[in-house]
Amino acid sequence: MAPVRLTALHPLASAVTGVAAGAIAVLALPGALANATGLLLAGAGLAASAIFYERRVLAQREQIFAAIGEVKVRLATNAIRLDSLAQRVEQLPMSEADAAPARAAINELTAEVGLLGDLLQQVAMTLADHDTQLSAAQARRNAETAPPPPPVPAPELARIAHREALAAARAEAIQAEQLRAADERASIISTALAEGKVEVHLQPIVQLPQRRTRGYEALVRLRLDESTLLLPAEFLAIVEERGFGPTLDALVLTRTLAIARHLGSKDGGLFVACNFSAATWASSQALVTLSRILEKYREHAGHLVIEMPQRVFRSLEPTSLGLLGAMSANGVRFALDHVGDLRFDPASLHDRGIRFVKVPAALLQAEAERSSIDIAAADLGAQLARASIILVAEKIEDDPTVADMIELGVSYAQGLVISPPRPVKPEVFADPEPAKPVVQAPEPERPAARISAEILGYPTAGTSPAAALPAPPSGPAQKSPTPERLPFRAVLRRASA
């Protein structure tokens, strides 16, 4: 006989068992002891039933979350298979016209798989928010069902309590309205991100003191409608909270690579820099996805610079360092961003692919005035340059700060005083047109040669008519006889004869 599992029983079985045991105790035991024992057993059964029901609900929720996680794992596996299929299609000996439909279908499937993953993330977060709201509702219900405080006989105390109750109700209403508005805004931002309404604006990075443009930084914007454009500070927190950071980074990286392709067609060695979110740097899987995108656009990676915060660089795991090494091997350069102190090891930075160090101008000015013990701000640019690293001063707001940066030996500069971020022209993101075959222009027709008397066989001046007749062919090497030259008197005699 198979053993009976208690977890397989219905939660009400404990209540039924307790009530039955209590009834048996009432019938079997004598006097007041029977009633007390029966009530005790019935209460124990009901309490056990409530405990089992709560555990069963928790187990079901854990099963739901486990199922969602399994679906996400399968979606990730399918995404890897689609990427492998895309690589196989690229390797097949097909013409561009035949391969284009297959690439379009694979890209569409990849986008759908990513969208399904994001939707599953939304479902999981919605369930978590639902649990939080249920707990808050239960707490409010318990507070409402609590016995009211005893009446205060003093009229002044009653008025104070009334004002406090009104203030608490007003604060709760304001908090609920703020939560509702935050949820609505998060939903709008999530929808805009799912629809790909991401814009990239470029801010120039110039060389000092000539202020010649050497590169650009790609700054992300989110377009909600024709008149609403959100800055990163207005939506990045919500994006990272909802788990859409890697999706946003993939969109920005794709657009940045299109800009790098456009810059590659120009002279001057221009580059474009982009940022990744904290969630991407913390996830090796997200870095693998971005490295695959870079692998597909390897020919444009030489014009790309990826910015990395200083605290992220100092806390990278060995797996992430290996992925950064693979990106650097493909030609990608890195820049150290969000610098909080000037304690650098230039040789170590160069070994890990760092080619730029971006320091706020205010920090350089403060270090120059303080004369830090580690390194003087005026020597920082030269020390980094010896390791083939360029110092970039960012967040420059006025011209006196530009003059200070030149005195400190800063090579590159960036800020609003130089140029604000500007949108990118749509034709930059368009696919390049295939090269058309060069058609040679037809040669211009030469004017017909004027027919002369020599061609028609007429005699020229000073030539006898007999000499003008064609001579009979006497062989391939025989030359035509030289015309006889007559004196001018002989010509006059013939004309007067």
Taking the C-alpha atoms of residue 256 and residue 219, their distance in angstroms, rounded to an integer, is 10
Taking the C-alpha atoms of residue 124 and residue 130, their distance in angstroms, rounded to an integer, is 10
For the chain, domains (ranges, CATH) are 9-132 (no CATH), 187-429 (3.20.20.450)
Residue 283, number of CB atoms within 10 A of its CB? 15
CA atoms within 13 A on the CB side of 83: 17
What residue ranges of the chain have pLDDT lower than 50?
Answer: 1-2, 4, 435, 438-439, 448-479, 491-492, 496
pLDDT digits 0-9 by tens, 48-92:
777 777 777 777 777 777 777 777 777 777 777 777 777 777 777
Calculate ∠ Cα 184-187-191, nearest 5°. 145
CA-wise closest residue to 394 among 368, 413, 379, 416: 413
Taking the C-alpha atoms of residue 224 and residue 198, their distance in angstroms, rounded to an integer, is 9
Residue 213 confidence (pLDDT): 93
CA-wise closest residue to 295 among 264, 328, 330: 330
Taking the C-alpha atoms of residue 408 and residue 401, their distance in angstroms, rounded to an integer, is 11
What pTM did the predictor assign? 0.53
Residue 450 confidence (pLDDT): 46
Percentage helix, strand, coil for the chain under 3-state DSSP, each rounded to 5: 60, 10, 30
CA-wise closest residue to 358 among 337, 343, 376: 337
pLDDT digits 0-9 by tens, 174-186:
888 888 888 888 8
CA-wise closest residue to 243 among 121, 405, 379: 121
Residue 464 confidence (pLDDT): 45
